[in-house]
Structure 1
Amino acid sequence: MNRFQDHESLLYLHKLAYASVQGVLDESVAYGIVNEMLIEHKQVLGRDFFIIFPQLRLPWNPDRPKDRRGNIPDVGLGRLTGSGVRHLQGGIEQKVATELMRNLPNPDSIVHDKAVQLSINRAIIQAEDQVKAAVKNGAIPCNTAIDWIIASGPYFIITSFGPFTEAQLSTRSHRPNASGDALLAEIAQELKDTADSTPITKTLHLIGTEEAAVAVHNYLVSGAQLYNSTDRNYP
């Protein structure tokens, strides 16, 4: 047993990770696996260490009630104060697995695959706006880098966003619209048509491995330091 997750926990998550890439690849199944991973970490860190906020809506302009635009991380990680205010330490943006992930290959063997890069890069585009919205809602400190989990199926990286300038906070990279995420689809197509998709420079982890358990444990522990910050008054 180690202080991150015991052998039984790792086997359980590995079994789920494998099952999640059999049959029809489904993003909703991937949500379930990443949530199970977080629950296993709560068993180690304590039930009050963080709360899982699924599909957390963050208004893009919280000071403008008539502005209905918002960003929705697949998972928000945080705590709820006694007065009902949500403070976040991070979040997760999840994408459906790719075909190459079906037999759970070693992360190093798929990190250069174009489809994997595309999946991760699409999630990064959305996650950046989620972090910006979290800053504008006072959910996270405004003058520090924020780590976010970017997942594709049972694989994930941990990357940082910010701190942002005022101009950056006013600009959205991903603009959902009635045509069904047309801009994101356009960006995705451009990446597909490009011979060299943006490479994945962060370590790619696989849920159910000790390396992934250590990475998430450290991520959760380091992110908890943000709760003590009073630098949440934006603008």
Structure 2
Amino acid sequence: MGITASFPKHWKVVSLDSVVTRLTNGYVGPTREIYVPQGIPYLLARHVKRNRLTFDGKTFVSPEFNEKNSKSILKEGDVLMVQSGHIGETAVVTKEHEGHNCHAMIVITPKAERLLGSYLSCFFHSKLGRSQLDQLETGITLQHLNCRDVKDVDIPLPPIAEQKRIAAIAQKCDRLRRTRRYTQQLSDSYLRSVFLEMFGNLETNSNGWEFCELGDVADIASGVTKGQKFNGRQTVTVPYLRVANVQLTVRPFLSEVVTLG
């Protein structure tokens, strides 16, 4: 497809098709008739979450179906790519999911001596990888990737040792992002519980509080406009709080207060 970005001289730019042994997609068709209560775990697009597989243990197919669709049986180190809806989401198949099968997703088996699945997955989540997939998407109401088009994606290919290092850094960043989201969720949950404890449910007024208008219990006035003229009036020089001084913190940024006089 062509990459215009520059890379270290010892890196190569290759087509995906040249560094994989398998590029196919899982069974595409109705699922109602193929599910069984227990059997071979069957991965769906919803199980692929940015470099992670999160199988929920709810979708299984029979060993017979699995064998009939052996071209998409997963191996450790494969890369799974969502090809409809949230296209381009990828994850590496771990030992836990080896032997499982998948539905309507692209299965990529890298040549182990040239390409790491973890590096490939990180690449597809990068701006460079994402931009190439965006050029390949089809469909209006539902975005879709054709398996035969993905083989032509160009990949910057560093040596294996560098691929490992890049993938490790990217995975660490992903873990930090997940931790930050989880911490934010805990913080939000804690603040909601503290608010309810202090004020009760304001929608139902569980504490039986009296409500009134702000103007009934406070004096409301606007501040002085910078540049306002006070000809003939006595003035003084005082600290002046601007909008920039007031943030979502306990107190204003007083260290940046200017004077006005």
Q: Same fold (TM over 0.5)?
A: no
Query: More relative contact order in 1 or in 2 (CA 8 Å, sep 6+)?
Result: 1
TM-score, with structure 2 as normaliser? 0.21
Given the two structures, how large is their TM-score scaled by the length of structure 1?
0.23
Which structure has greater helix proportion?
1
